[in-house]
Amino acid sequence: MNTVKVSSPYIRSIPSMVLKELQWAQPNPSYSPKSPSMLATNLIKSYFEKGSVKEARNLFDEMPERDVVAWTTMIAGYTSCNYDSLAWSMFHEMLNEGFMPNAFTVSSVLKACKGMKSYSCGALVHGLAIKYGLMGSIYVDNSLMDVYATSCCSMKEACLVFHDVNPKTDVSWTTLIAGYTHKGDGYGGLRAFQQMLAEGADQSAFSFSIAVKACALTGASSNGVQLHATILKHGLDSSLPVMNSMIDMYCWCQCPSEADHCFNEMPQKDLITWNTLIAGYKRSNSSKCLALFTSMESQGFTPNCFTFTSVIAACADLSLLTCGQQIHVDILRRGLDKNIALANCLVDMYAKCGSISDSRRIFDSLSYKDLVSWTSMMIAYGVHGYGKETVKLYNEMVRSGIQPDRVVFIAVLSACSHAGLVNEGLTYFNSMLTDYNIIPDQDIYRCVVDLLGRAGKTEAAYELIKNMPVDPNDSVWGALFGSCKAHKLPNLGKLAAQFILEARPDMAKTYLMLSNLYASEGDWGDFAKMRKLMKGLGGKKEPGCSWIVLKNDVYSFVVGDKVGPQMERVYEVLSMMVLHMDEADYVPDINCCLHDPEDGT
DNA sequence: CTAGGGTTAG
């Protein structure tokens, strides 16, 4: 017999080209299918590999006989295409039809549990793995650890599993380190990495890249520098993930020249290399972020959603509306506008560049809005002073079934405080505590103190501070100080200022306001003391600046600017504005202005 | 025949 029997009902959905391949392969004597479904199983796998999920499913549905391998292929295939819940229901169906899962099946379905971040699914499979005697398979153990690390808030469960893995492989260690690191616990990740070294486990590019990521999270470069040396010693600097991680670490640890050095020395780069450095510079030097973006295409790299989110955020930081609009066009041209994270970033950019109607247009165009979309739009309204709109949006969001988080409450509370919606704000604060069990942190307290303080309820704000479960930080006291200043409560103000200066002795603004307060009371001794302390800070305080974009150039101004292009014209316009202010009987409050008493500016 | 870990945004 030299042809494949094609009478099986499931074979008809196989494309004729593939059939030819199969017929050609058949005479090969080494080819001996172990089960009747093997051909179909291999095809299912290749369908998944090229993303043809529907075709894979059709073929599976038409198989007259399915074995555990076919089922496992379906489960693993769905997961590899990010259809984790479909993988999970496949597993259910398989059990219902009486099949016994093997180690392959269990590790595949555990990967689906990880994708769903489902602790309960993971625990259920854990139980089944014990029942079927599959614990002890290194694949099962490692993937179970991974599920627990991803789905539990602590690493306790993952560590319990890890403890019993024997022998531990570099995969086990990498999974453990990644568990801590992905939770944001850089020191936990580093501790696990050190333990791994102490136990003499094999080191790989995998474990190094995640360990370097852990260093990035700690924000201190000392560990990272040591790792860098070890990586060079092991010759692992040829691994892109390792070096990309290294660039990221140097950026997070404020070592831009080291990040540049790694970047320039890399003989090969990928898109992630570029994106990592671009994202790093977005946080420290937005102009350089834009410059890198401009040069990446000439080096043969095509920007993606990651690139654009950084670049759009850089435009937002620099308030470059025209630049942001041009890049937005680029995003539309490349069809990336459906990416939700990027769209959220655009909402933020337009708001920061003063074009709130564009923010709203993008927000409305989203077919699916996530928590960040709602938050971005609420913050956009908030900074523009549209408190009522923020509150409206909050209510809409809750109605649409999205659970607000800490950041949402910061947005709502600060919007309420700027719009004078005291009672609404307090209602949301209570709802946050009782309906959503969010433990208020310093930022939330600052918002509530500000809410009360702006409304003139300074004493109530002070009472709240006194009853805080943790020691209030300088920004909480700062909110109270602002209220004391606005509502002329010098004694409480002095108290608040003392607390601020205790935590932040570098706050020039606070010394100034405090000295003005002493002056108004005729307390010239304390006045002089404050001025002296302030002078001691030297030029540490960065002056606030304004700027204007003309054509493609940004012109920025600070107080007392004497040189610069067309400065005479600037001062001309300035004096005209002062005239207008006088005409409108506007008396500016210069009490909070920073000025140098020496030269009278 | 079927299974595992790492890097970039928000």
Q: Each residue of A559-574: pLDDT tens digit? A: 667 666 667 776 787 7
For residues A103 and A140, the answer to whether their CB atoms sit within 8 Å is yes
Task: Look at A74-78, A185-189, A303-307, A556-560 and tell me which has the smallest mean pLDDT.
Answer: A556-560
Per-residue pLDDT, A582: 79
* pLDDT band with cut points at 50, 70 and 90 for residue A555: low
Give the burial string for A25-39 (b: 16+ CB within 10 Å, else e). eeeeeeeeeeeebeb
Per residue in A357-381, pLDDT (tens digit) is 999 999 999 999 999 999 999 999 9
- pLDDT, residue A254, reads 96
| Residue A30 confidence (pLDDT) | 44
Cβ neighbourhood burial of A332 (10 Å; 0-12, 13-18, 19+): exposed
Report the protein residue whose CA lies nearest the C1' of nucleotide B2.
Answer: A69
| DSSP one-letter string for A449-491 | HHHHHHTT-HHHHHHHHHT-SS---HHHHHHHHHHHHHTT-HH
C1' (B4) to CA (A218) span, angstroms:
27
Distance A7 CA to B4 C1' (A): 38
Q: Which residue is nearest to nucleotide B3 (CA to C1')?
A: A104
A340 CA: nearest nucleotide by C1': B10
Is the CB atom of residue A399 positioned under 7 angstroms from any atom of strand B?
Answer: no
pLDDT band at A170 (very low <50, low <70, confident <90, very high): very high
**Mean local confidence (pLDDT), A299-307:** 96
In this structure, of A254-268, A395-409, A436-450, A540-554, the range with the lowest mean pLDDT score is A540-554
User: From the CB of residue A218, how many other CB atoms can be counted at a distance below 10 Å?
Assistant: 18
Chain B positions under 7 Å from a protein CB? 1-10
| Stretch among A146-150, A177-181, A585-589 having the lowest mean pLDDT | A585-589
Residue A557 in contact with residue A570, Cβ under 8 Å? Answer: yes
A272 CB less than 7 Å from any atom of strand B: yes
Could you tell me the distance in Å between the CA of residue A296 and the C1' of nucleotide B10?
22
A479 neighbors A449 (Cβ within 8 angstroms): yes
pLDDT at A593 over 60: no
Residue A474 has pLDDT above 50, yes or no: yes
What's the sign of the alpha-carbon dihedral A548, A550, A555, A558?
Answer: negative
Dmax over CA atoms of chain A, in Å, equals 111
Q: Nearest nucleotide to A39 by CA–C1' distance?
A: B1
Tell me the mean pLDDT in the region A141-165. Answer: 97
* Residue A273 main-chain phi, psi, to 5 deg: -55, -50
Give the pLDDT mean for A428-451.
94
**Every domain of chain A and the residues it spans:** 544-601
The Cα–Cα gap between A225 and A262 comes to 12
pLDDT surpassing 90 at residue A116: yes
Q: Determine whether the distance from the CB of A221 to the nearest atom of strand B is below 7 Å.
A: no
Which of residues 117-156 of A have CB within 7 Å of strand B? 137-140, 142-143, 146
Q: Tell me the pLDDT band of A596, cut-offs 50, 70 and 90.
A: very low
Tell me, what's the pLDDT at A590? 61
Output the distance from A307 CA to B4 C1' rounded to whole Å.
30
Q: Measured in angstroms, what separates residue A76's CA from nucleotide B1's C1'?
A: 13
Tokens for A590, please give them.
């210069």
* pLDDT, average across residues A536-548: 62
Name the residue with the least CA to C1' distance from nucleotide B7: A241
Protein residue at shortest CA distance from C1' of B4: A139
CB A18 within 8 A of CB A1: no
Q: A100: closest CA among A129, A136, A140, A63?
A: A129
pLDDT at residue A337 is higher than 90: yes
Q: At A554, give phi and psi (nearest 5°).
A: -105, 125
Using 50, 70 and 90 to split pLDDT, how confident is the model at A601? very low
User: What pLDDT does residue A82 have?
Assistant: 95
Residue A553 pLDDT > 90, yes or no?
no
A549 beta partners: A554
Higher pLDDT, A548 or A221: A221
The answer to whether A422 and A457 are in contact (CB under 8 A) is yes
Q: How far is CA A359 from each of CA A246, A337, A356, A373, A415, rounded to the nearest angstrom?
A: 35, 13, 5, 10, 17
Section A140-145 average pLDDT:
98
Least trusted range by pLDDT, from A396-410, A445-459, A467-481, A497-511: A497-511
Tens-place pLDDT, residues A375-411: 999 999 998 989 999 999 999 999 999 999 999 999 9
Omega of the bond prior to A565 within 30 degrees of 0, cis? no
- The DSSP-derived string for A481-513 is HHHHHHTT-HHHHHHHHHHHHHH-TT-HHHHHH
For A172-191, give the secondary structure using H, E and C.
HHHHHHHHHHHCCCHHHHHH
Give, in order, the Cα–Cα distances in Å from A124 to each of A12, A127, A131, A406, A468: 38, 5, 11, 31, 41
CA distances from A296 to A353, A493, A509, A544 (A): 25, 52, 41, 33
Confirm whether any atom of chain B, the nucleic acid strand, is less than 7 Å from CB of A231. no
Has residue A22 got a pLDDT over 50? no
Q: What single letter denotes the amino acid at residue A243?
A: M
For strand B, which residues in window 440-479 of chain A come within 7 Å by CB? none
